[in-house]
Chains A and B, each alone.
Chain A
């Protein structure tokens, strides 16, 4: 039997090779066969989830609700590198000094990362902005979001905070942060589906032990993860409830 492993399409291309190395390690340590299948975009991923094709997934918080509540997935571990936070930034020479200076009709540069976009839109809300009254520019990467701002094509940009902090100095110097989220509970999780139910405990132990050994720690580095941390069921349920409150918009 072979299982399908996938990584939420919002992973950074810098870590593409790293996920293949991780998959090789995972198969060796577990004795299970995983086929790493990467999807180009979220609609393809959602289709695969819907069709019950996925067994193991490094999941975006936005998909956690479906995975846990409809598809019977359990969280194995989360990355120990802090939560997913968002930053709203403008070009350094922008007239906008605070979120409330932005007005309906604003042009917002964003990415396809669903959790970052969601939090970003919440951060824009105090200015009266919502998906009905802004123009979104979907970019393929955070570097392109920054470029959109430099060129004056967008008024503000939504960044994953971690990605913003990894932008080069010269790029960061040409940007100005209006607000940074401090939510602390929104995480990606590595999750296992029902067909892996018998292996959950073993997989979790092996994953958590990765940080203790120099060789496996190196594999983690290739994913941009410092170590895997244990999670309990209620923590994930709590995050899902929180995401549901943020996604809620009355009809």
Chain B
């Protein structure tokens, strides 16, 4: 399960949003304007089951998300969902990987402390003996120019989604 974000975890001024998450329902998130730079040389890796529940995270994932490994394992991956991300991006992600294909895109993620970080993510279905048994996402440091493009693009998409 996924609880609301806690003001005690957040540093500085924050805004409040309520997300409507698949399989979770409403979740209150607290968002600040602080960006945490992507750590050089690292890959941030997680795996989920076929429903998007986190089954594995690497050390870089834990460090960047601000959550403990215990908080992450068993949680839906939307624990990192940032309100600035358009719904259409994740719809495209799920459609692609459920079809057995690889999805790649830029994602703004929300940390436990309300700050955010940008990643270039590649999500791949884990095919074992011909069946999809889960998904792996591998994130790397994005090119800044691409991030700037996505900031503008996602703002337009969110506006079109009427949020």
Contact = CB atoms under 8 A, between A and B. Distances in A.
Contacts of B120: 125
B145 A237 contact: no
A128 B141 CA distance: 11
Nearest to B105: A250
Contacts of B58: 184-185
B102 A126 contact: no
B98 interface: no
Contacts of A100: 144
B32 interface: no
B145 A183 contact: no
Contact of B143 (A128, A237, A244): A128
B40 A99 contact: yes
B124 A122 contact: no
B42 A182 contact: yes
B65 interface: no
B77 interface: no
A125 to B, nearest CB: 6
Given A128-B143, A248-B122, A242 B136 contact: yes
Contacts of A244: 102, 124
Contact of A183 (B38, B43, B144): B43
Interface in A77-116: 99-100
Interface size class of B (residues with CB under 8 A): 20 to 34
Given A248-B102, A248-B122, A123 B45 contact: no
Given A127-B143, A237-B128, A245-B122, A181 B41 contact: yes
B34 to A, nearest CB: 20
Contact of A126 (B45, B136, B138, B143): B143
A116 to B, nearest CB: 14
Nearest to A238: B136
Given A126-B144, A128-B143, A245 B41 contact: no
A238 B58 CA distance: 12
B41 A246 contact: no
Nearest to B135: A241
A221 B142 CA distance: 40
Nearest to A123: B41
A122 B136 contact: no
B27 interface: no
A48 interface: no
Contacts of B145: 128
Nearest to B42: A182
Contacts of A241: 124, 126, 136
Interface string A220-246: 000000000000000001100110111
B111 to A, nearest CB: 20
A127 B142 CA distance: 9
Contacts of B144: 100, 126
Contacts of B42: 181-183
A32 interface: no
Interface in B111-163: 120, 122-124, 126, 128, 136-138, 140-145
Nearest to B45: A242
Given A183-B43, A237-B126, A250-B104, A245 B136 contact: yes
Contacts of B142: 125-126
A127 B47 CA distance: 28
A180 interface: yes
8 contacts: A125-B141, A126-B141, A126-B143, A179-B40, A237-B128, A241-B126, A242-B136, A246-B138
Interface of B: 38, 40-43, 45, 47, 58-60, 102, 104, 120, 122-124, 126, 128, 136-138, 140-145
Given A122-B140, A126-B141, A244-B102, 8 more contacts: A99-B40, A123-B41, A125-B143, A182-B60, A183-B42, A241-B124, A242-B136, A245-B123
